[in-house]
Amino acid sequence: MYGTLAGALAGRKIPFDRDRFTATVEGRIAGRGKTIRIESIAVHYDLTIAPEDRPAAERALHAHPRGCPVHESIGSAVPIGWDATLHVGDETVTLRGAE
């Protein structure tokens, strides 16, 4: 999803510093021993953008899961959610995906 979001931002000509665009991923695992199951995946983005790019960046964030092959492949079997901390000028904005 990280690469898909980077592509969505680049496609919208939203400049961002690739060294400061980060994502951390958390997975919830159930089961014991050899029988385990992934219950959910959460992706947390941190991104700095210019104030004039905020509307397009928000659209890219909300649209990117549908363009991600991994999300589309396993998203019906394993819930995948995301949230993003956007640094926009002097403001910090938190967005969350619908899942």
CATH code of the domain in which 36 resides: 3.30.300.20
Residue 98: pLDDT over 70: no
Tell me, what's the pLDDT at 32?
84
In terms of C-beta density within 10 A (0-12 exposed, 13-18 middle, 19 or more buried), how is residue 54 classed? middle
pLDDT 10s digits, 35-72: 899 999 999 999 999 999 999 999 999 999 999 998 99
Predicted model pTM: 0.89
Query: For residue 38, what are the domain limits?
Result: 2-96
Banded model confidence at residue 99, pLDDT cuts 50, 70, 90? low
Count the domains in the chain. 1
Higher pLDDT, 94 or 76: 94
